[in-house]
Structure 1
């Protein structure tokens, strides 16, 4: 087994170790050069199930959004003397309402004028219309997440369609890192070729889970998923201004954050305007909305 150079021998997702080897991980191709060629961009998405587009957004806007979000937390939540844009978790355990519910900064922030202006910028809509080939609208349910190194938690392996199966399915998700998100911060990873797997092929993955009460995610154990399916995880060192884009049937997950700086990201989804949309995605996000 060959270890990929210059990286830690192990990475983690939901506190489960995964060998960072060429047998388990492969870089997600940079598709930025295809942005001026709609047919080529659609072909790459059809082939890979995901796209990494570098430098699409203004990094200054990204850092300003990050600072505005972490600046909403009470004293002690961030490390004293640090810039809110750095998002460095403090040592103090500050009591907060549950994540993403009324009273928590994330709940209020996704309803703010600055946040809505950011997710409604034309560059995002244009890319969505390019890959879907038709006019689109942004779904109102836009999810904001941040993860710190103490939590040992991250997004489990899943496909988006499971959570939005009451619509037409002509949807794209854009994952926006709010700040730099190299491998060590716990960025998004994709299971190669998984958009071509059938629901029947994916179903056995639910047998290894830390959420037996919830059959929507596939598994929290990304190493086992890779072994069971015989496919590698696509990864990237994301930077502020990048976009990762995927369709509703691509298996994806996130790695745990191993750095002092919190990993912050936003999920924006666009659907074909003429289609029926899943009604659960037509209202602003809350962590307890059940969608």
Structure 2
């Protein structure tokens, strides 16, 4: 992946790079003390639940050998004030960055996606649009590593030029994971996990099908990757003995429509309340 720090002061150049690459890799732009404080808050919670190896330093985030963790959004909510401040405080760097990039007042989703990925397989490849496409398509994800992430620990990977694939956008990219057929009473999509939204669990298959290269990077505390809804991405395998901690948060212009599943005090998300019926 190529970094975009040289473009930070020019909105038009950031927008041009986003159109070209589908992502902006920005090095060292976030408050490192808040990143580390957020990491410690997550690890403190995991330690208190008995999920970390007590013989290892807390900040290393080494899980017990029999513990398998992945998606932990409850550890990102209001009790993690450092993370909430890092991602959503209007006076902190990420919100300032989005105001500059979008050119106006910013709305962020209230739900925060937090991952504490145990050693093992990474996150399957997908596009975010199928999970949050009921509002504007001019919506952006900020992927924030909560700690240094080398190639052994794995990290975000993006499929080169996949955001420009018109056929993918018109087929897979037009789906909604929470849509179901009203005229099919037993439609499995009516359940919370009826359709998981993955393109494939085999990144090589996706690369061969869509073309391009999987682009990767190593990340340090303070880095962030911002990317568009149509960019195919996933998580590399974690081949270390540590947890890989990261957050995903979403941002858009406040003047554009927002996906109601992710807004409010208790967002419905992919629950039964978030389902939307249609005639098939």
Aligned pair in 2 of structure 1 residues 228, 93: CA closer, same or farther (>3 Å)? closer
Q: How does 1:254-269 map to 2 (within 5 A)?
A: 254-269=235-250
Which residue number corresponds to residue 64 of structure 2?
A: 90
Moved more, 221-230 or 112-121: 112-121
Whether 1:172 aligns to 2:146 is: no
**In structure 1, how many angstroms separate the alpha carbons of the residues matched to 2:237 and 2:170?**
23
Q: Secondary structure at the match of 2:116?
A: strand
Q: Secondary structure at the match of 2:226?
A: strand
**In structure 1, how many angstroms separate the alpha carbons of the residues matched to 2:75 and 2:152?**
28
Q: Do the aligned residues in 2 keep the contact of 1:132 with 1:170 (CA within 8 Å)?
A: no
**In structure 1, how many angstroms separate the alpha carbons of the residues matched to 2:60 and 2:168?**
43
**In structure 1, how many angstroms separate the alpha carbons of the residues matched to 2:168 and 2:20?**
21
Which residue number corresponds to residue 34 of structure 2?
A: 61
Which residue number corresponds to residue 129 of structure 1?
A: 99
Aligned pair in 2 of structure 1 residues 47, 226: CA closer, same or farther (>3 Å)? same
Runs of 4+ deviating beyond 4 Å: 199-205, 284-288
Q: Do the aligned residues in 1 keep the contact of 2:34 with 2:82 (CA within 8 Å)?
A: no
Which of 141, 144, 169 aligns to 2:114? It is 144
TM-score norm. by structure 1 comes to 0.77
Q: CA RMSD in A?
A: 2.7
Q: Do the aligned residues in 1 keep the contact of 2:31 with 2:86 (CA within 8 Å)?
A: no
Which residue number corresponds to residue 22 of structure 1?
A: none
Q: Secondary structure at the match of 2:42?
A: helix
Q: Secondary structure at the match of 2:39?
A: helix
Moved more, 85-94 or 243-252: 85-94
Q: Secondary structure at the match of 1:72?
A: helix
Q: How does 1:70-219 map to 2 (within 5 A)?
A: 70-73=43-46, 74=48, 76-93=50-67, 100=72, 106-112=73-79, 113-121=81-89, 122-149=92-119, 152-200=120-168, 203=171, 214=195, 216-219=197-200
Which residue number corresponds to residue 3 of structure 1?
A: none
Aligned length in residues: 250
- Structure 2 portions without partners, runs of 5+: 174-192, 275-280
Aligned pair in 2 of structure 1 residues 240, 287: CA closer, same or farther (>3 Å)? farther
Aligned pair in 2 of structure 1 residues 189, 56: CA closer, same or farther (>3 Å)? same
Q: Secondary structure at the match of 2:205?
A: helix
Q: Do the aligned residues in 2 keep the contact of 1:66 with 1:84 (CA within 8 Å)?
A: no
Q: Do the aligned residues in 1 keep the contact of 2:108 with 2:249 (CA within 8 Å)?
A: yes
- Structure 1 portions without partners, runs of 5+: 1-27, 101-105, 206-211
Q: Secondary structure at the match of 1:253?
A: strand
Q: Do the aligned residues in 2 keep the contact of 1:88 with 1:262 (CA within 8 Å)?
A: yes
Offset, 1:275: 1.0
Offset, 1:132: 2.2
Q: Do the aligned residues in 1 keep the contact of 2:261 with 2:268 (CA within 8 Å)?
A: no
TM-score norm. by structure 2 comes to 0.80
Aligned pair in 2 of structure 1 residues 200, 251: CA closer, same or farther (>3 Å)? closer
**In structure 1, how many angstroms separate the alpha carbons of the residues matched to 2:94 and 2:141?**
10
Offset, 1:64: 1.8
Which residue number corresponds to residue 279 of structure 1?
A: 260
**In structure 2, how many angstroms separate the alpha carbons of the residues matched to 1:204 and 1:170?**
18
Moved more, 276-285 or 72-81: 72-81
